[in-house]
Amino acid sequence: MTKKAMAPKFERIAPDERRARLIEASITCLAKGGIQGFTVDNICHEAGTSRGLITHHFGSKNALLAAIYASIYGKVLENVARSEMTPQSIDELVEMIFGDSFLSREYLNVWLALWGEIAVNPALQVEHRKNYALYREHIARAISAFARGKGVKVDSYDVATILISLVDGLWLEQCIDQSLLSLDRAKDLCRRTLSAVLMGST
């Protein structure tokens, strides 16, 4: 009995799914090697695809970086929006922003690579401005709701800017060397700063 020749199998993937896979593969490359690991060969190897698909779906590596930033920030915004509420305590405010899954050590290289490229990548600058504004809006609304509940008056956008900058700096420091600053200590410093800013307002 002769064996029938098996036809080669081709994986049919929708364009949106292919784009998503290339973005995820790129994030993995950034996480492993920072911006130096963000090469066409590494991305294609990680995604199991051909070099031409990056150009086909994104046009350039710079545009792919912008798409990565939009994808990550989009998930951050989803997480914040899902947890957004009327915070009853400073602790809830701190946990709301520190609790995001993308603020973990495994994403350190990813954020450093993206932040480092913003100054020289116009497409990335556009994504940063748009997504940062949306992120600050979410945080400002939570701060405003908390302040109303406590009967204090604050500029919620200024406080949101302070909080986001503080969290970014503390998170970065504790990722670099946890022996100098633990995550719990970082959260405590953030709580104390917010308490001084919010509860000291009139």
Integer Cα distance of 26 and 16 in angstroms: 15
> What would the pLDDT profile of 154-163 be if each residue is shown by its tens digit?
999 999 999 9
Q: Mean pLDDT over residues 133-150, rounded?
A: 89
Angstrom distances, CA of residue 65 to CA of 13, 115, 116, 201: 22, 11, 11, 41
Q: Mean pLDDT over residues 32-38, rounded?
A: 92
* pLDDT beyond 60 at 7: no
44 vs 98, higher pLDDT: 44
In whole angstroms, what separates CA 140 from the centre of its chain?
A: 18
Portion of the chain with pLDDT greater than 90, in percent:
40
157 vs 55, higher pLDDT: 157
* pLDDT beyond 60 at 1: no
Round the average pLDDT of the chain to a whole number and report it: 85
Integer Cα distance of 54 and 15 in angstroms: 12
Q: Mean pLDDT over residues 78-84, rounded?
A: 72
143: how many CB neighbours lie within 10 A of its CB?
Answer: 26
* pLDDT beyond 60 at 6: no
Q: Mean pLDDT over residues 91-111, rounded?
A: 82
> Which ranges constitute the DSSP H helices of 48-155?
52-58, 61-83, 90-98, 108-118, 122-150
Helices vs strands, H then E, count in the chain: 9, 0
Look at residue 202 in the predicted model and tell me its pLDDT: 40
